[in-house]
């Protein structure tokens, strides 16, 4: 490990990410107001992931009062408490920027149904 990797290593969150592009997620984000700290939940669709390592980030889009809002979160940010998957999505591309120009039903992402074969294979192990 070189020095730069050594500096980055303690800041990178261990374990798998737990969500993918196309998933609808709830991001529990810590907000500091003066001395008090509270957690704000930002719910939306993950439309892109960028970079890797320390700069790894994901973009979450939601419609707020009829206006599209996109927020980029660093995956390794210490201010992210956790990311909850509300709905897994079935998508065929890595960047869902096309959703910006869609309205109504076309702006929805299909729900990814769990793979029965995989589940059956995992069941006996567990």
Partner 1 sequence: MIGLIGKKTGMTQVFDDTGRLIPVTVIEFAPNVVVGKKTAEKDGYDAVVLGVYDKKKTRVTKPYGGQFPEGINPTRILRELRDYEGEVAVGDKLGVATLEGLRFVDVAATSKGKGFQGVVKRWKFGGGRNTHGSKFHREPGSTGQSTWPHKTFKNVKLPGRMGGERVTIQNLKVVRIDAEAGFILVRGAVPGPRTCDVLVRDAVKKTK
Binding stretches for partner 1 (CB under 8 A): 3-4, 6-8, 11, 30, 32, 54-55, 74, 76-79
Annotate 54-80 with b (16+ C-beta within 10 A) or e (fewer). Answer: eebebbbbeeeeeeeeeeebebeeeeb
Q: Which is nearer to partner 1, 3 or 126 (CB)?
A: 3
Q: How far is the CB of 34 from partner 1 (least distance, A)?
A: 13
Minimum distance from residue 5 beta carbon to partner 1 (Å): 9
Nearer to partner 1, 18 or 53 (CB): 53
Backbone angles phi, psi at 119, to 5 degrees: -60, -40
Q: Which residues pair with 40 in a beta bridge?
A: 29
Smaller CB distance to partner 1: residue 74 or 112? Answer: 74
Helix (H) or strand (E) holding 122: helix 116-125
CB of 55 to partner 1, least distance (A): 6
């Amino acid at each position: 490990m070189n020095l730069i990797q050594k500096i980055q290593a303690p800041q990178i969150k261990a374990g798998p990410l737990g969500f993918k592009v196309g998933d609808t997620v709830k991001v529990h984000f810590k907000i500091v107001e003066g001395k008090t700290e509270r957690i704000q939940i930002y719910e939306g669709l993950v439309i892109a992931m960028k970079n890797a390592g320390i700069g790894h980030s994901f973009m979450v889009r939601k419609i707020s009062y009829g206006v599209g809002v996109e927020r980029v979160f660093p995956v390794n940010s210490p201010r992210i408490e956790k990311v909850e998957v509300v709905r897994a999505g079935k998508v065929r591309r890595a960047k869902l920027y096309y959703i910006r120009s869609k309205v109504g039903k076309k702006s929805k992402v299909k729900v990814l149904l769990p793979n029965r074969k995989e589940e059956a294979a995992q069941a006996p192990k567990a």
